[in-house]
Structure 1
Amino acid sequence: MGTAEFITQVNATAWAERYWSGDKQLTIADTMPRFYFDVRDRRSSTIDDDGVDMPDAEAACAQAAVAAAEMLKSLVPCDATELFVAVRDERGQRVGEVTAEVRVTQHA
């Protein structure tokens, strides 16, 4: 599952239920800006070309933190594992970055 797919799954229904306009329910695309989540770790990077509709930059950064924590679980632990998620808005401007790290120290 890609980053955008993962983030879309989390709370998409809750966001949609918050937005109404008179008798017409607005779609997520009608009311929300699109954010893009670029992921980088020590071995690879992925640029998000699809994006996800989110209420605002704060919500997008919060969702990036949740996604980073979940993705970090799938990385094989070594001496240090870092994961970076950069959040871009519709204009391509970076609005936030999440850094997640797991550090394993063994004691004899």
Structure 2
Amino acid sequence: MPRFYFDLRDGDKLAVDEEGLELPDIGAVQAEAAISLADMARDAVHSTPLVRNGHRMAIEVRDDAGPVMQVRFSFEVETRKH
């Protein structure tokens, strides 16, 4: 089974995955990346102050041959007076 590495990008920070996961196909890779990114987004909302110009994060997936896919998420909070 092929091994895929899920590098985490949060703004300008990059955490490189040294271990990777063995997954059967690209569909399983996409599902794993999407679930991981959703977890990152949930954690960011609860633990970091949101900046006015938004927050961007991504999972950059690679295998031994190189990049496979990137799954991105961005959000921003706009406050308005009532």
TM-score range, shorter chain: 0.7 to 0.9
**Where in structure 1 are there 5+ consecutive unaligned residues?**
1-31
RMSD: 1.3
Q: Which runs of 5+ in 2 are unaligned?
A: none
Highest relative contact order (Cα 8 Å, sep 6+), 1 or 2? 2
Q: How many residues align?
A: 76
Question: What's 2:41 paired with?
Answer: 72
Structure number with higher helix proportion: 1
Q: Compute the TM-score of the two structures, normalised by the length of structure 2.
A: 0.82
TM-score (norm 1): 0.64
Q: How far apart in 2 are the matches of 1:95 and 1:57?
A: 9
Give 4+ residue runs of structure 1 displaced > 4 Å after superposition: none
Larger-gyration structure (1/2): 1
Distance in structure 2 (CA, Å) of the matches to 1:66 and 1:42: 18
Q: Counterpart amino acid of 1:40?
A: R
Distance 2:77 2:56 in 1: 12
* Aligned with 2:9 (options 33, 40, 52): 40
